[in-house]
């Protein structure tokens, strides 16, 4: 039987559990060791250590009214809650709470798709709705709309959007928080609020116009702990007539500068609509000479180019992206893109896939790069191992954000390569992913383990990367709960003024400090001091 | 170590076969013999897939193959069956696929009850009556004007 949360007596905890059981029913309160194990972070960088974040119990409501009752009980007993949507983002902490001992509020049973409008291209969903659920609903009902899915696609739309995750299709949809329109929130006091046009009870534009009237409050519910979101609207992409997936490769290291500049210009003009990946085939793998160059902290481009030439002339950089729309328009966009990039000596263009929509189930199954077509998949798992190999132990995403400038990508690669080498790790793959309109994210998969010795090394690596990248102008955009205090320290302008503002809001909105204490380093007054 | 043929011979796919499961499956949950017919998954990407699938079909087992990514099969076949009630799923896949299915199946009160490595991974995920109720009841939908919901 798990221990009660810090500061809550055993008797109060038991009384609170009985009251929670009274709200949701015996089957939906989870307080045994076996049940609570399901909410453990399987990729935790603190696995089996005293500091590992673990839940004390979990409760699974099925309605807004039940969420309100849960919040009221939590206020009575000072019970910390940790709401999760589907809890499947394993590289950012999964279902485990930010504050150990919290009661997880598992919202997976609130899994209704409340509305889909093919005409308005919108939907309204509850937090338990996964990308799988909505995709299946659209396919089954032959609704000509696409989701924009995270990858892997087993997560929840609301959970991913609230942590400001991203996807792969058109820019209007792949910033998942930006693609939302209106939300309903249970505040820590138990009150229900609707934002945007949803606050006007008769409005016909609740999922059509984001701002409503007055201050636009939605942002404070993302990457925070100011309430429990129980409904969210999203804009959906109309299924295009066709799509063309392409690859552009360039031979030399410094070619990434004009490559990225041009692609960014084309993205800003909406000529290239999809997310763009810029990866380096040359800097991938375990070749010892390549690792030596990567670990050096920066060598002349000519040295890298000589190495590339020694590897059978593999391109130094490869960019992949997709055009969507009528075939005639796609052809013009692709031709224009080639014309703009033709000035890079040795540039090569390749069409890698072409589709006409709608796809049959068999055709959808056969698509290689499913997320780019709104098809959720689990392909990412096992992509780093041979099919019969034992799985790797896990990883955290390290996600620094850089301007869309090739020289910044090179500089970050040089810096992080040396950090990995100095600390005895093989560096993560090299790539810049343009999810957002004005930045690149350079995801690294930092390994986690099931032993304390290796995890201590990995935590030191992660901390070095976070600090070092922030010092060079590349702070992270999202981070694992174990490192959220560190991450927020990198946003300390004016002696931490933003942090103080967060605390002011927290004190006003959550006076008893019961919702997700410590998430993104926002602590309630009663838990500041040693935690903050 | 269990081999493919003896695994299939002692497969859990139907109630009759369950009664003859060999003793090394000591973690068999109580009442499994009463489970309704279950299904077998085979990853075509893996060596030996054709023979394994042929064995399963020859025993009258509902057998589905896929190529690497099990997500489509999950959405179309597995999740609806788990949602409808207790079911046993067997498979010969990569470890990554088992990892995903085990994780997803937990929401339906199911667990991996058998796992052996034979080049690929051969496994059984079972949900049983008497375990705690699955987390996900059938989704309900509401209609709204021109909406399809």
What is the secondary structure of A411-445 as a DSSP string? HHHHHHHHHHHHTT-PPPP-EEEE-STT-EE--EE
Is the pLDDT assigned to residue A209 strictly greater than 50?
Answer: yes
Nearest-Cα distance to chain B for A165, in Å, is: 20
Pairing of strands A242-250, A317-325: antiparallel
Which residue of chain A comes nearest to B143, CA vs CA? A115
Smallest CA–CA separation between B91 and chain A, in Å? Answer: 14
Cβ-contact A522, A502 below 8 angstroms = yes
Gyration radius (Cα) of chain A, Å: 24
> Which pLDDT belongs to residue A390?
57
Give the alpha-carbon dihedral of A7, A10, A12, A16, to 10 degrees.
Answer: 110
Q: Which of A174, A158, A172 is nearest to A125 (CA)?
A: A158
Cα distance between the two ends of chain B: 50
> Fold for domain A242-357+400-476?
Vanillyl-alcohol Oxidase; Chain A, domain 3 (3.40.462)
Q: How far is CA A305 from CA A210, A289, A308, in A?
A: 48, 13, 5
**CA nearest B125: which of B95, B108, B107, B105?**
B105
Quick one: how far is CA A16 from the chain centroid? 33
Taking chain A, what is the end-to-end CA distance rounded to the nearest angstrom? 29
Closest of B2, B43, B34 to residue B12, by C-alpha = B34
Position A302 confidence tier, pLDDT thresholds 50, 70, 90: very high
pLDDT of residue B118: 66
Distance, in Å, from the CA atom of A122 to the CA atom of A138, rounded to the nearest integer, reads 12
Which residues in chain B (77-136) have CB-CB distances under 8 A to chain A? 79, 94-97, 99-100, 103-104, 106-107, 117, 119-121, 132-133, 135-136
Contact A388 B46 (CB under 8 A): yes
Out of B96, B106, B136, closest to residue A38 by CB: B106
CB A101 within 8 A of CB A51: no
Based on the residue annotation, tell me whether A92 is a catalytic residue of this protein: yes
Average confidence (pLDDT) over A336-343:
98
User: Tokens for A108?
Assistant: 């997976």
Phi, psi of A54 (to 5 degrees): -135, 150
Highest mean pLDDT among A488-497, B22-31, B35-44, B57-66: A488-497
DSSP A431: E
**Tokens at residue A113, please?**
């798709």
User: Are A132 and B71 an interchain contact pair (Cβ–Cβ within 8 Å)?
Assistant: yes
Task: Label residue B28 by pLDDT band (50, 70, 90).
Answer: very low
* Chain B hits for A30, Cβ within 8 Å: 132
Instruction: Give the pLDDT confidence score for residue B15 in this predicted structure.
Output: 30
Query: Where are the domains positioned within chain A?
Result: 110-238, 242-357+400-476
Query: A 386-405 residues with CB below 8 A of B?
Result: 387-391
Using an 8 Å Cβ cutoff, are A395 and A459 in contact? no
Please check the confidence at residue A498 and state whether its pLDDT lies above 50: yes
pLDDT for position A389: 57
CB B5 within 8 A of CB B55: yes
Can you read off the two tokens belonging to residue B148? Answer: 């399809």
Q: Provide the 8-state DSSP code for A81.
A: E
Question: CB A388 to CB B117 under 8 A?
Answer: yes
Confidence bin at A323 (pLDDT 50/70/90): very high
pLDDT at B141: 54
pLDDT at residue A108, rounded to an integer: 93
Q: What is the pLDDT of residue A388?
A: 53
Residue given tokens 């949507």 in the structure block: A85
Rounded to the nearest angstrom, the minimum Cα separation between B98 and chain A is 10
**Does residue B3 carry a pLDDT above 70?**
no
> Which residue shows structure tokens 């052996």?
B116
Quick one: DSSP state of residue A481?
Answer: G
- Residue B102 confidence (pLDDT) above 80: yes
Q: What is the DSSP string of B42-64?
A: EETTSTTHHHHHHHHHHTT-EEE
Instruction: Name the catalytic one among A92, A131, A168, A373.
Output: A92
Q: What is the mean pLDDT of residues A148-177?
A: 96
The per-residue pLDDT for A100 is: 96
User: Residue A137: pLDDT band by 50, 70, 90 thresholds?
Assistant: very high
What distances in angstroms separate CA A308 from CA A273, A287, A291, A311, A347, one per listed residue?
30, 12, 13, 5, 15
Entry field: residues in chain A: 532
What distance in Å separates the CA atoms of residue A246 and residue A249, rounded to the nearest whole number?
10
Instruction: Please give the class, per CATH, of domain A110-238.
Output: alpha beta
Q: How many Å apart are CA A280 and CA A172, to the nearest integer?
A: 27
Comparing CB atoms, the residue among B72, B100, B147 nearest residue A115 is: B147
Cβ-nearest to A387 among B69, B79, B120: B120
Q: Which two tokens stand for residue A128?
A: 């338990």
Among the partner-chain residues A108, A118, A143, the one whose CB lies closest to the CB of B107 is: A108
Are the beta carbons of A140 and A367 closer than 8 angstroms? no
Q: What is the CA radius of gyration of chain B?
A: 16
| A29-30 and A57-59 strand pairing | antiparallel
User: pLDDT grade, residue B22 (50/70/90)?
Assistant: very low
Name, in order, each residue with C-beta under 8 angstroms of A196's C-beta and a sequence gap of 6 or more.
Answer: A181, A182, A183, A206, A209, A210, A211, A212, A216, A218
Predicted pLDDT of residue B110: 85
pLDDT tens digit string along A225-263? 999 999 999 999 999 999 999 999 999 999 999 999 999
Residue A495 tokens read as 């002696």
**pLDDT in the model for residue A60:** 95
User: How far apart, in Å, are the Cα atoms of A440 and each of A171, A315, A319, A383, A397?
Assistant: 13, 20, 13, 22, 15
Catalytic residue among A477, A525, A526, A528: A477
**Phi, psi dihedral angles at B78 (to 5 degrees):** -75, -50
Strands B88-93 and B39-43: parallel
Band (pLDDT 50/70/90 cuts) for residue B13 is very low
H or E stretch covering A395: strand A395-398
Residue B139 has pLDDT above 90, yes or no: no
Q: What is the pLDDT of residues A382-409, one digit of tens each?
A: 665 555 555 567 899 999 999 999 999 9
């Amino acid at each position: 039987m798990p221990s009660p949360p810090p500061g809550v007596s055993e008797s109060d905890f038991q009384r609170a559990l009985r009251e929670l059981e009274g709200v949701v029913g015996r089957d939906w309160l989870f307080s045994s060791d076996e049940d609570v194990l399901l909410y453990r972070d399987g990729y935790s960088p603190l696995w089996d250590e005293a500091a590992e974040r673990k839940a004390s119990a979990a409760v699974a409501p099925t309605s807004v009214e039940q969420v309100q009752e849960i919040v009221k009980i939590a206020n009575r007993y000072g019970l910390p809650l940790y709401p999760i949507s589907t809890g499947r983002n394993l590289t950012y902490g999964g279902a485990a709470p930010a504050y150990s001992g919290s009661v997880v509020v598992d919202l997976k049973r609130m899994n209704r798709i409340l509305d889909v409008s093919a005409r308005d291209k919108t939907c309204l969903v509850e937090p338990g709705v996964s990308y799988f659920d909505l995709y299946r609903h659209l396919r089954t009902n032959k609704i000509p709309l696409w989701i924009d899915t995270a990858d892997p696609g087993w997560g929840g739309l609301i959970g991913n959007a609230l942590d400001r995750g991203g996807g792969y299709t058109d820019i209007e949809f792949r910033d998942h928080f930006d693609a939302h329109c209106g939300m309903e929130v249970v505040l820590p006091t138990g009150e229900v609020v609707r934002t945007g046009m949803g606050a006007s009870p008769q409005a016909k534009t609740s999922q059509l116009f984001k701002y409503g009237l007055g201050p636009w409050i939605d942002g404070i519910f993302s990457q925070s702990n100011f309430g429990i979101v129980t409904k969210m609207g999203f804009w959906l992409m109309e299924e295009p007539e066709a799509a063309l997936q392409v690859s552009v490769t360039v031979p030399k290291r410094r070619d990434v500068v004009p490559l990225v500049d041009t692609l960014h210009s084309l993205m800003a003009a909406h000529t290239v609509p999809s997310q763009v990946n810029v990866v380096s085939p040359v800097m991938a793998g375990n070749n010892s000479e390549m690792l030596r160059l990567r670990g050096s902290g920066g060598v002349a481009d000519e040295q890298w180019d000589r190495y590339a030439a020694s590897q059978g002339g593999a391109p130094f950089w490869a960019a992949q992206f997709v055009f969507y729309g009528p075939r005639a328009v796609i052809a013009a966009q692709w031709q224009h893109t080639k014309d703009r990039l033709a000035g890079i000596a040795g540039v090569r263009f390749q069409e890698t896939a072409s589709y006409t929509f709608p796809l049959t189930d068999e055709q959808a199954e056969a698509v290689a790069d499913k997320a780019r077509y709104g098809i959720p998949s689990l392909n990412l798992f096992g992509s780093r191992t041979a099919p019969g190999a034992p799985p790797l132990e896990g990883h955290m995403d390290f996600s620094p954000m850089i301007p869309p400038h090739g020289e910044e990508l090179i500089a970050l690669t040089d810096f992080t390569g040396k950090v990995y080498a100095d600390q005895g790790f093989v560096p993560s793959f090299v790539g810049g992913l343009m999810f957002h309109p004005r930045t690149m994210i350079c995801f690294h998969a930092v390994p986690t383990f099931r032993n304390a010795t290796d995890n201590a090394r990995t935590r030191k690596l992660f901390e070095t990367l976070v600090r070092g990248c922030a010092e060079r102008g590349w702070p992270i955009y999202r981070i694992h709960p174990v490192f959220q205090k560190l991450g927020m320290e990198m946003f300390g302008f004016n002696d931490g003024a933003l942090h103080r503002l967060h605390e002011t809001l927290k004190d006003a909105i959550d006076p008893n400090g019961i919702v997700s204490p410590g998430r993104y380093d926002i602590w309630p007054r009663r838990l500041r001091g040693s935690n903050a | 170590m269990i081999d493919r043929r003896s695994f299939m011979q002692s497969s859990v796919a139907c109630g009759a076969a369950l009664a003859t499961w060999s003793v090394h499956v000591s973690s068999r949950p109580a009442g499994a013999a009463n489970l309704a017919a279950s299904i077998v998954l085979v990853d075509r990407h893996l060596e030996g897939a054709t023979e394994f699938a042929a064995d399963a079909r020859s025993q009258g087992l509902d057998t589905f193959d896929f190529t690497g990514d099990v997500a489509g099969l999950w959405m179309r076949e597995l999740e609806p069956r788990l949602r409808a009630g207790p079911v046993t799923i067997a498979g010969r896949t990569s470890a990554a696929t088992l990892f995903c299915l085990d994780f997803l199946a937990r929401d339906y009160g199911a667990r991996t009850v058998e796992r052996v490595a034979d080049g690929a991974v051969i496994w059984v995920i079972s949900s049983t009556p008497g375990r705690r109720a699955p987390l996900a009841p059938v989704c309900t939908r509401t209609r709204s004007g021109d909406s399809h919901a």
